[in-house]
Amino acid sequence: MKTLAEILPSIEPLQIVGEQNVTVAGLTLDSREAEVNFLFAAIKGVSSDGHSFIGTAVNRGASVILCESLPEVLQNACYVQVASAADALGKLASAFYDFPSTKLKLVGVTGTNGKTSVATLLYQAFTNLGHACGLLSTIKYSIKGVDTISTHTTPNSVRINQLLAEMVSQDCEYAFMEVSSHALHQNRTSGLDFDGTVFTNITHDHLDYHHTFKEYLYTKKLLFDGLKSDAFALVNKDDKNGQVMVQNTKATRYTYSLKSMSDFKARILESDFEGMLLEISKTEVWLRLVGEFNACNILAVYGVAFLLGKDHLQIITALSAINSVDGRFQNIKENGVTAIVDYAHTPDALQNVLDTINAIRTKNEQLITVIGCGGDRDTAKRPIMAKIACEFSDRVILTSDNPRSEEPDAIIEEMMGGVLPIHYKKVLKISNREEAIKTAIALSQTGDVILVAGKGHETYQEIKGVKHPFDDREILTTNLKRINN
């Protein structure tokens, strides 16, 4: 428990109405989950405004209200008016939990593709190096090997600081977290002290939220703009926007690349569906990862480890023991068929996965791609992804992903808009995702490759507001085993 006076110095209020020396036993965004003596932050969201719930929060025991405008009727609480409630909440949450991000090495990873892989691989590598670590990712939150299923790529600022404080209490030395563009736009990372950040790449995504690519780009850039002079900013030089990210940063800048001169360089020597031989700083290492995009991810991990003071050969040894990330080019082999499950849900990610498969396979076999697009999300990428799938696959099955509130067949028809007439004969439309996967298996022969893209690690399918159990990997494994049985 803390008094308001103890956490207030972390922000600059416009004005305070009421007693400052009140006790705050917790911080919340949602008064329905609150306990007596909590601070309620009235944040303006996409579909609702927290200011509408101030009265409810006070009635449920809120002793402090953080708001951008004062309500017409001031009830029995202390009101702290600020320019941005979301920004102030992040700073207050950090102070409330005793500034946990300053008590460990915190590295943030942002970009369109590769965030989950880089953050997770960093967690694995530093664990292999013998350090106690924490992870905040799309897939899970982990503290010294104990996992919790995550709800957001980047949780809200209260939850972030709560998790970081738990990591500190568990003697973690390092924490690695994905930082989404939504989180940056909504100030969820305000008040955090990053020791370093990584930029993987930026491509077409989330334009349903950010509206324009420029807005999306400059939202990502906020992570680097806020770094201190003693931090590092590591960016992918192979992405032309890498240098845009660090234009205004105070941090020391570093680059990594597979294709041009940079601070950290690597090249692929050999590759197959089991892994690849990579050369990093004149040292060869075999990795249980596949593809140029994963080589790039590994190089980012190497760069971070090096910048955090780790020895070259120790890093290489730690990398050699790394496992693939759930749902990221995950390989399943049964009855002579190779199936690959990947989270690719953007045009660039799908292109990378298909390029990787086509670079490895002999072309004497079929590549059958099962792909869908999520509902209530950026619609412009739907025809683009279908076009890519058709151009680089022998057979394509367009299906449902997470349709959410939309009709799956309508989404598929939008995807069909990108299919050229020359490719019509190779396309099947099957809205039931399980049936689509089963059909791909039925069409396959020994030696063929099946790519099931879009959902990756997810173990559900969201339809009309309900999440139904659904795992691409389980469906593939079960049905591949039945071939010729």
Q: What is the pLDDT of residues 105-118, one digit of tens each?
A: 999 999 989 999 99
Q: Return the pLDDT at 209.
A: 60
Profile the chain (485 residues) by mean pLDDT over runs of 10 residues. 92 94 87 75 88 92 95 92 97 97 98 94 98 95 93 87 98 97 93 98 66 86 96 96 95 97 97 95 95 96 98 98 92 95 93 95 95 93 97 98 96 98 98 98 96 96 95 97 76
- Bridge pairing between strands 38-41 and 62-67: parallel
Q: Report pLDDT for 213.
A: 82
Eight-state DSSP code of residue 308: T
Q: Fold for domain 330-481? A: Protein-Tyrosine Phosphatase; Chain A (3.90.190)
- Give the whole-angstrom CA distance, residue 237 versus residue 189: 25
What's the pLDDT at 185? 92
Q: What is the C-alpha separation between 63 and 76, in angstroms, rounded?
A: 8
Query: What is the reported pLDDT for 33?
Result: 63
Q: Give residue-wise pLDDT tens across range 376-400.
A: 988 999 999 999 999 999 999 999 9
Burial 134-156 (b: 16+ CB within 10 A, else e): bbbbbbbbbbeeeeeebeebbbb
Domain boundaries, the chain: 2-90, 100-320, 330-481
β-strands 174-178, 146-149 pairing? unpaired
* 2-90: CATH topology: 3.40.1390
Q: What is the DSSP letter of 63?
A: E
Q: Looking at residue 431, what is its pLDDT?
A: 97
CATH superfamily of domain region 100-320: Mur-like, catalytic domain (3.40.1190.10)
